[in-house]
Each structure stands twice: as C-alpha cells, then as structure tokens.
Structure 1
Amino acid sequence: MFVEDIKNDFYNVLLGNRVLLIVHYDVDAVCACKILQDLFKCDNISYTLVPVGGISELKTAYEENNEEIKYVVLVNCGGTIDLVDILQPEEDVVFFVLDSHKPTDICNVYSDGQVRLVYKDDEENIPNFDDIFRDDDEEEEENDDELQGADRLEAVVERRRARKAWEERRHTLMFNYTQFSYYGKPSACVALELAVRVSRCSAAVLWCGAVGCTAHAALYLRPPARCLLDAEPLQRCLAHSTSAHVVVAKDAWLPLYRWWSVEGALRHAAGLAPRLRLHNSSGATRLRQLLADMGFPLQQARQSYRSMDVELRRGLLGALEAAAPKHKLSAPTRPAFLLQRPHAHPLAALDTVYACMALIEHDTIPRAEGFQRALAALEVCGENEALKLGVTSARRSLEAVARLAQGVLSSRGLLLAGPFNYFIVQEGTTESTSVRGPLWLGEAARWVASATGGSRPLLASSPLANGQCLLLGVPPRYDQEPRNLFGAAFEQAAQKSGASVILDYVDTSVIVLPTSQRTQFLDALTALLA
C-alpha cells in the first residue's frame, strides 16, 4: 500500500520506536540515508543502519537485526521484490519502502499494511487489483451445487473458459508492467520533501537532495526532462545565507574539473570525451583543437584548474559553449547545484557524486567502510577528508574507465552478437580492479555505447572473485530513454541456457554468473533477443 501522508503516516509512526534502516549501496541511497539520519538525530529516534548490496544481503541484514524491531525502513532496496514472501516477518512488523527502482512488486503495492510504500511515482502504470488477484473458486463451486446435469457441466466449462481468459489477460498485464526496469524519482528528493514537511530543511539536507538528484542525471538513470522535474521542488527550497548554502548556477558538465585540470576533465568526461573519439590516433589532435578553439593555451589547460589564469577560469563556460557546436559536443554546460561555503571554493554536486561512487566501490576499502565514508563526504562544514579521499579515488577510477573504453574501441574489443554489442574486461588488467562493481562498469559501458552512436544495446562484463563475473546491460539511446529490457531478458536467458546465474542485484539489469558459463549464457541471450 502507498503512504498518503509522508509526515503522519510514515515519519510520525517512527517516533519513539527503534528502527532498522537498511540502505542500498548507491549514491542516491547514501544521500537519502544521510537526510533520514539527520531527522532521526533531531527527534532522538534510535536506529540500526545496515548497508546492503543485494537481495541476499537484505535477507541476512533483516534476520540478524530484527530482534525487538517493529519498524524497518528500506532505502533503494526491497521495492521490486515480494518482501513478506522473502523475509517471512512477524505479522506486527511494518516495512516502509523508499525505493527508486521500478517497477514496484505488485504484492507490495496491494499489501494490507505490512508493506507501506513511501512514494508513488506518476510513471508507474500499476494494474488494477481485480485484474491481478482473483479468489472466486469457492463461491463458484457453491453456485454449481445448485445446478443439475447439463446445466452444471456447462457452468463448469464456462467458468474454466472465463478463468483462462482472465489468466491470459493477467499474463499480458504483468508482462507489460514488468518487462522494463527503470528508475523513479530519486529517494533523496523524497526524503527532502519529508524534511520540508517536518520543518527541518537545513543546508545539509538540501545538499544531500542536490547530490542525489544530480546522481540520477549524471548516471543517466532518468530521462533529461524527468531530471529537470525532479530538481524543480529542490530549487524552490534554496535560500542564500552567509554560511554554507546551496545554489543553482550554470556550470561545466565536466567531472572534477575544479580538482583537476581542464584538459584532464575533458579527457575523462564520459559525456563529452567519446564525441571527441579520443580512442582514434587523431583523438589527441581533436582535443588540442578544441582547447585552441576555446582560447586555452595547452600549458594553462594542463595545469591545476585553481592555478590557471583568473581570466581563463572566468571565461571557461562561455568558451566551452562557443566551441562545442564545431566539435559536435552536446550540452557542455547546464544548470547545476553548487555548495557555497565561506572561505572555500564552490563544491559541485556532480563532483560529490563521483566521489561517493569511488568510496562505495573503492578498490581497497571494504564496501561497508566505503559506505560510511561516502556518508561523511556529504558533510557541508569543516575540512572533509572523506570527500578528498573520494575525489582522489574518483580521478583514478575515471582514468581507468577512460583507458578501458579507449582500449576496447581501439583494439576491436567491442564484439557483435546479433541484437547487441558487448565487451569483456580481461582478468588481471590494471582496469579490472577499478571497474569490478556495477557503478564504474556502467560508466565504462555508457562511454563505449556513446562512442559507437548509442543506437544498439550493449553488455559489459568484468571479472569477480571465485571464477565469477559481473554482467550488466545498457539500453539503446540510454541518454534519452533509460528504460532497460535486459532485466527480464536475463531472467529468461538464465532459464533457457541452464547457466548458474545469480539474480541477486536490486537493479535487475546486473547479474553474476560463472565465467566458464558466460559464452553459453550470451548465446542463449542472443537467440532470445534475435
């Protein structure tokens, strides 16, 4: 069931109770978690926080922490699975689900109150209850007892015909409802709305909402028009002050350029660099020509942004916009969220997104610790060592993504399999440790897809431990319509191929399978989608 009043039917219910807070490993979930933590702290709500990476971890987290817990809040996990069936909770346990992954499981939608969905997205075309659930066998059998002979036989035949027609209609409705996986409104934006309702909308809360909203735009989880609509309520809450505050301003859509050089940011921007075809032998020449058209001397463009000539820094946005059409670069600047702090450089929400990604999927820090550091990176006051670590790690990860994508494109590592393209990250390469998780592997996949025109779906695979590999799918034209068909296709291909596929990720377009069975699985997927 859906919560009608986010304040009274969700937050006020938690007051005075201990809460189990289960949060997924992604940037939007980290931001929403940070907002909820601030609210819980203000109202002395005690809670246990457990980050999870998939359905099995979700089940383990609940089983290990459910003693004396009556209220469970799930952020970006749990919405797409039948929670009651999988977790088998006591009848008095209530689950509040704040999940941007769609479509929502139909059993959660029509739960009698044990599962309560905090937000209903306008995009969800949820089938009607009577079209999905039916319980009329006993009543029909009683009616049959009143009939005799041929009339009774005719009634039975008619009932079976109606039942079959209903089942076929139900199958069609459920197929249409579940065939695509996609993302709804960022959970951080919903958590921000809650903070506004309870009158606790601080700069820290606004910043978390801004980063969560930017994450969906930067990772192409929502169509561009939807991203603008998601950001609009957030912009209404912004207010200037002498202390830390969030503003909306036109900014270059380049990753970490304030922490890097202009050339370095252009070279590693997944949204712009593929258009420059840096994987070709003439790619470096095109990049130098772009900088020349911008009026940026190579010596200036290669040094730290903060050490550049002041006039060049001030003219960066105008120079980018003027040079972009000649090089067919789309939207090099756009309205963006910035954190303004006294006596400090502006901090871009886009940079914080990449920093959090790098901390969550750090190559040496355990995920649980990386999650805590990502929470710390969202702090708005004081020296933020976690953010600095995240930025340093993000630069290394972006460099690895660029090397991987350019290597795939230049060495003919992009393979054609009928209805889709795919590439495989080889085990033992320097890039394999940086892109072993879905966040950075997805970034590399989108880079390759963009460089090849983006009109075909694409699969990317990276090695994991114990002879397994990660496989994820990117839909065609992901930058305009990111609805993903691969989730349903993976499930059907797993059944047809007989491969030992692990369908554990919250995002169904990401799976794990034995490396030895990858070819077998891809053959089945090719036959299915052909």
Structure 2
Amino acid sequence: QQIAMLCKNFLEVLQEFLSGERVLVFVSLDPEGICAWKILQSLFKCQHTMYTLLPVANYLDVKDSFRDNCEGVSFGVLVNCGATIDIWETLQPPADFQFYVIDSHRPFHISNFYNQQQVHLLVSEGEEVTVPAYGVVFRDSDDENSDAEDADEDADPDAATAALSAAERRRARREWRSRRERALLEHEQFTYHGPTSSLLLLEQAFRTSRPSLSALWCAIVGHTWQLLSGRLDWDAYFEAVCGLQAHVTSWRNASSAASASATTLESQLQETISSPAELQFSRCLNLWLLRHWSLEDCMRCSPHTACALQLFGSRGRQRLLQFLADAGIAQREARQPFDCMSLQLQNGLENSFSRLAGKFKLDPERLFLPTFTAKAAFRPALVATDCALLCACHLTRGDFCAAIDCVTIECSEGVCRDLGLVRDWLSGQTEQVQALLDQGSVVNLGPFLFVSLPEQAGPAALHLLASLAQRGFVSLGKMRRAGQLPLLATCQLPGSGVAPEFSTVFLGLPPVGAEDCRNVFRAAMLEAARGCRALGEAEFDGHAVRLHREDARKFCDALVNIMS
C-alpha cells in the first residue's frame, strides 16, 4: 500500500535535511505567499539554511526559474504554489531532487500526494486530506503496459485460452480506467483553499520557541488577505482568528511578565524600546483604509458598503448622501480625513452603522470585521487589512521588495507613507467597475456571467477587480438569478517566460450567494481546453488558466457548452 508524503513537522525537515544546504525557494506573487515567505525566512535563519529566492507569478515562471537555477541544488520549497499540478511531470527535475510544498490551494494533485520520494506536502495537524485510494488511480507498470502483450497473445492462433484470458484482462482494464476517470473527476471537480500557508508556517515556528512578533503579524496579514480576496469563507476566517487571538494574548502576557521582571527604570525603558509594536485584537468596521482615508471614499471603495448601498447604480450618490444624513454626519466631515473628523463622530461611527444597517440592507455579520491592529510608538495604528491591501498594491506595481517590507511590523512608518498608493489603486478599480457596469460589460451567457476586463498587471488586481464587478452587478438587481450564477472573467496580462503568447487569462469565481468558496470552474476548464484543443498553462489558482489569444473565443464557447 502506498503512503502519501504528508509533512506535518517541517521543523524536523529543516534540522535533518535542509540545515546548511542551499535551497531554491519559489514564492508566489500574492500577499499570502509574501507573508508565508517572511515566516519561512526566519526559520531558515534559525537553521542556517542558505536559499535562492525566486518570485514567480505563474507556472511558466516556475519552469523557467527552475531550469535556470537547479544546477547543483537538491532541494526546493514552493510557497503558496505547486500543490495542484504534477510537479514532477511539469518541472522534470533530477532523480535525487526533493520538493517541499507549502500551499493552501486544494485539492492536492494526486501524483504529488502519492509521490513517496520527491514531493512532500506540508499540512496542518488538524487538516483531513481526502483523496482517491491508490489502487483506484494507479496500477502497476506491468498491468498498464500489458496491452501489447495481449495483442501478441491474440496473434498466436494456437493460444485460444490465452486470448480469452487477455480479453478478460482488457475488460478489467477498461472498467478500472472508467472508475479512475470518475474518481479523478470527483476529486478535481471543485477548487478551494485549506489553511493559509502563513498559518501553517506559524504553527511550525511555535515548535521552535515563541515566534517573533513580526512572524505573528505576517500570519495575520496573510490570513486577512485570503478573506479580502474571497478565497476563504467567513466561518474559516473566524475559526483561525480565534487561534490567532490566543497567540496574541499569550504574547502580550509574556511581554508584560518580562517588563514586570525588569527591576530598574533603565531596563524597563530598554524593554519598551526593543519592542517594535503592540498587537491588539479589535472589531472594526469593514471599511478599507478607514483610519487613513475619508469616510466617503472608504464607503465608495469598500465592496460591502458599495454593493449594499448600490453605489454603482444611477441613484448611488443619492443613497450615500441619505445614509450620511441619517447618521448625522455632514458632507464636510465625511470628505475630510478620518483623523480630522470630530471625536464625537469617530466614537459614535460604529453605533451609527449598526443603527442604520437594517434600513440600508447592510449585512450585520459582514458590517464588522474581527481583526488585529498594530500600534507602534509615534506612528498611526495599522489594521491588518491596510497591510494586506498595500502588499497587493506593491505587487501590482511590480515592486517585490516593497511588498516584502510592508508586511514587516517594524516598517510601520513606511507603510503609512505608502498608503496613498493604495488609495489611488482602489479608487481606480472602483472607477473601472463603474465604467464596466455603465457599459453593460457584464453579460449572462446562460450557465455563468461573463465580463471582459481591462488589462491588469497581476493576479491580485485581476481577482479583486473581477470580484468587485461581480458583486456590483448583482447589487444592481437587473437579474433575479445573478446571485446564483458564477462569473467568468477574462483579461490580457503581459506575457512572461518562454511563451509570451500566453497572454489571455480566464478566471472563474463562485456565485455571490454561495455558502462556501468552492469553485466549480476547474474541471470544466480542463475539459474545455481538451475539447477545443486550446494551448494553455495553468495558473496557481486552479480555477484560472492562461491561453493563447487566438484560442480564447473557442475556449469560452466550449466552456458554455460544458456548463450548460
């Protein structure tokens, strides 16, 4: 019986195999991958592990980077990528090369799961991984290659008994292949996300000792991004936040005990200076960049309020002004920075939103977001959503180093200085969605909604823009079934790697009214690509694919036929 190579103690791997070795580290260009890498970097430093950092945006980048850097290296770590493809078949590494995959994308590719020698999947202690049994999807090589032997037996006229036996074996193989196809289709039908990569690595960091405050903050920011981008449902988010709250409380208690043990004023002052920031659990309004923007702009650019108040409609501006009037907030107050508003309005803002939630159809469960706030001396407080959005903004601009720096809790001053970039980015996305809806670009193709988006600079921008366009269209109420239909979005991305012609990306999103975040597009996309013989490359998200521009039309038509 084959045993899957599931790794639950990555620290032992670092100590036994990777300590002192040089490792190739492939980091996906999304905020979750950046946060996970920062925690992994601290573990590498503890074990004196050398590494080569390779930022990758898609599997074309992974193949190119591996080919250019694999010489003389025996180990590779894939951070937030690699779980959903056959790594060994895609990269074709040397026989002694070993991969360690730290990825939240699910489901695991069956070849990765049962590869005993070369691929090791890091999973959480409490995660239950369900895959088809080994005998259902794999057979011994002598059984698989026995078709030629059966043909030779049939060619022998004196082997009547052998021919009958060969016919029975062929029938058994056909039945096995049919069972295998059904099992794989059921296994790969949906894409979803497991525990976030940053939380997995934070769990490993706790095995060493008390992790740094920066590692804890990175895990919080990475987990927050998964919620903002729609990759996690609220129940999974709340469950992990409870565990993070316990870690934050434990850290604060330990820090308080250390401060209390300081006997002199000088030692207490030194303890305060050495602490980079303080983390606090908070229940904030679900308004993006509220502390660093005006209230009116926050409501206009935050998906929950923009869609609930139907701000993308013809009467959106009127509804926003009506909400502010009912809340007792003058337009002059709403248009100035939040810090410049009167303290009375700031302190009563949450009560005003709670009081008006029913009248303006604001979901009470989505109106407030349980999250964490980082407070450093002489610097404005930062909510985890602020850092997650800033990291995504830097990645959209192609600034990988700035994206790494902004998730470090010690760099709060630089984060506050760069938040203007996020404001411009979010305002631009809101204006793009408004233009798309005004032009009627979101159309119903029967089994799903379809929208063609302007060219985007990266997967983070594409995902947020497509999600906002979908929610904005549903909020207008032009279609009764819009909330039950998934969305297929397409746009042009700059080509990369050895095949720049793969420039058209298709991204599938689940329905707005879905109870969970499982995505139905994966199996349909694979079948559509095979059916129309479109040349494509898989993206890190299993519900996205990159195609030749000339294959885009026939791929979309094939997808409509399959999902109808």
Q: TM-score, normalising length from structure 2?
A: 0.85
- Structure 1 residue 68 displacement after superposition: 2.4
2:508 alignment counterpart: 473
2:469 alignment counterpart: 448
- Structure 1 residue 516 displacement after superposition: 4.9
Matched, 1:381 2:386: no
In structure 2, distance between residues paired with 1:80 and 1:324: 41
- Structure 1 residue 105 displacement after superposition: 1.1
Matched, 1:520 2:554: yes
Matched, 1:493 2:521: no
2:427 alignment counterpart: 399
Instruction: Map Cα deviations across residues 425-455 of structure 1 (whole Å, 9 max, x no partner).
Output: 3xxxxxx45x443222222222222231532
Matched, 1:46 2:74: no
Matched, 1:341 2:376: yes
Which residue among 220, 223, 233 is the counterpart of 1:223?
233
Describe the SS at the equivalent of 1:251.
Answer: strand
Which residue among 37, 40, 52 is the counterpart of 2:41?
37
- Structure 1 residue 265 displacement after superposition: 0.5
1:249 alignment counterpart: 282
- Structure 1 residue 13 displacement after superposition: 2.8
AA aligned to 1:524 is A
Seen in structure 2, the aligned counterparts of structure 1 residues 464 and 9 have a Cα distance that, compared at 3 Å, is closer
- How do 1:11-410 and structure 2 match up within 5 A? 12-119=16-123, 122=127, 124-135=129-140, 137=142, 152-238=162-248, 239-240=251-252, 241=255, 243=275, 244-330=277-363, 331-362=366-397, 367=398, 370-382=399-411, 384-385=413-414, 388-389=417-418, 391-410=419-438
AA aligned to 2:321 is R
In structure 1, distance between residues paired with 2:471 and 2:247: 35
In structure 1, distance between residues paired with 2:234 and 2:167: 52
In terms of fraction of residues, the more helix-rich structure is 2
Structure 2 contact 100–120 (Cα < 8 Å) conserved? yes
Seen in structure 2, the aligned counterparts of structure 1 residues 344 and 462 have a Cα distance that, compared at 3 Å, is same
AA aligned to 1:51 is P
Structure 2 contact 7–122 (Cα < 8 Å) conserved? yes
- Structure 1 residue 166 displacement after superposition: 1.8
Matched, 1:504 2:538: yes
Structure 2 contact 84–542 (Cα < 8 Å) conserved? no
In structure 2, distance between residues paired with 1:373 and 1:339: 19
Describe the SS at the equivalent of 1:494.
Answer: helix
AA aligned to 1:92 is D
AA aligned to 1:287 is L
In structure 1, distance between residues paired with 2:471 and 2:302: 12
Seen in structure 2, the aligned counterparts of structure 1 residues 192 and 172 have a Cα distance that, compared at 3 Å, is same
- Structure 1 residue 515 displacement after superposition: 4.4
Structure 1 contact 3–10 (Cα < 8 Å) conserved? no
Structure 1 contact 458–473 (Cα < 8 Å) conserved? yes
Q: Which sections of structure 2, spanning at least 5 residues, go unmatched?
A: 256-271, 475-481, 496-500
2:490 alignment counterpart: 461
In structure 2, distance between residues paired with 1:469 and 1:57: 16
Structure 2 contact 29–395 (Cα < 8 Å) conserved? yes
In structure 1, distance between residues paired with 2:505 and 2:347: 43
In structure 2, distance between residues paired with 1:259 and 1:492: 46
Matched, 1:483 2:518: yes
In structure 1, distance between residues paired with 2:239 and 2:541: 23
Seen in structure 2, the aligned counterparts of structure 1 residues 475 and 203 have a Cα distance that, compared at 3 Å, is same
In structure 1, distance between residues paired with 2:551 and 2:183: 33
Seen in structure 2, the aligned counterparts of structure 1 residues 182 and 6 have a Cα distance that, compared at 3 Å, is same
AA aligned to 1:133 is F
AA aligned to 1:469 is T
In structure 2, distance between residues paired with 1:11 and 1:220: 36
AA aligned to 2:71 is E
- Structure 1 residue 100 displacement after superposition: 0.9
- Structure 1 residue 413 displacement after superposition: 2.1
Describe the SS at the equivalent of 1:180.
Answer: coil
Structure 1 contact 422–458 (Cα < 8 Å) conserved? yes
- Structure 1 residue 517 displacement after superposition: 4.4
For these two proteins, the number of residue pairs brought into alignment is: 513
In structure 2, distance between residues paired with 1:85 and 1:163: 24
2:265 alignment counterpart: none
In structure 1, distance between residues paired with 2:15 and 2:420: 37
Structure 1 contact 186–230 (Cα < 8 Å) conserved? no
Describe the SS at the equivalent of 1:81.
Answer: coil
Which residue among 453, 458, 461 is the counterpart of 1:437?
458
AA aligned to 2:405 is A
2:266 alignment counterpart: none
In structure 2, distance between residues paired with 1:311 and 1:138: 77
- Structure 1 residue 520 displacement after superposition: 3.1
AA aligned to 1:444 is L
- Structure 1 residue 304 displacement after superposition: 0.3
Seen in structure 2, the aligned counterparts of structure 1 residues 517 and 126 have a Cα distance that, compared at 3 Å, is closer
Structure 1 contact 376–387 (Cα < 8 Å) conserved? no
Describe the SS at the equivalent of 1:315.
Answer: helix
1:429 alignment counterpart: none
AA aligned to 1:487 is R
Q: TM-score, normalising length from structure 1?
A: 0.90
Instruction: Map Cα deviations across residues 117-140 of structure 1 (whole Å, 9 max, x no partner).
Output: 111573642111121111174699
Describe the SS at the equivalent of 1:446.
Answer: helix
Seen in structure 2, the aligned counterparts of structure 1 residues 127 and 498 have a Cα distance that, compared at 3 Å, is closer
Moved more, 396-405 or 200-209: 396-405
Moved more, 514-523 or 68-77: 514-523
- Structure 1 residue 72 displacement after superposition: 1.0
In structure 1, distance between residues paired with 2:170 and 2:492: 50
- Structure 1 residue 519 displacement after superposition: 3.2
Structure 2 contact 536–548 (Cα < 8 Å) conserved? no
Instruction: Map Cα deviations across residues 35-80 of structure 1 (whole Å, 9 max, x no partner).
Output: 1112222333221111001111111111212232222111011111
- Structure 1 residue 200 displacement after superposition: 4.3
Describe the SS at the equivalent of 1:480.
Answer: coil
Structure 2 contact 457–494 (Cα < 8 Å) conserved? no
AA aligned to 1:127 is P
AA aligned to 1:196 is F
- Structure 1 residue 349 displacement after superposition: 0.5
Seen in structure 2, the aligned counterparts of structure 1 residues 67 and 164 have a Cα distance that, compared at 3 Å, is same
In structure 2, distance between residues paired with 1:374 and 1:283: 34
Structure 2 contact 30–459 (Cα < 8 Å) conserved? no
Moved more, 31-40 or 519-528: 519-528
Moved more, 192-201 or 116-125: 116-125
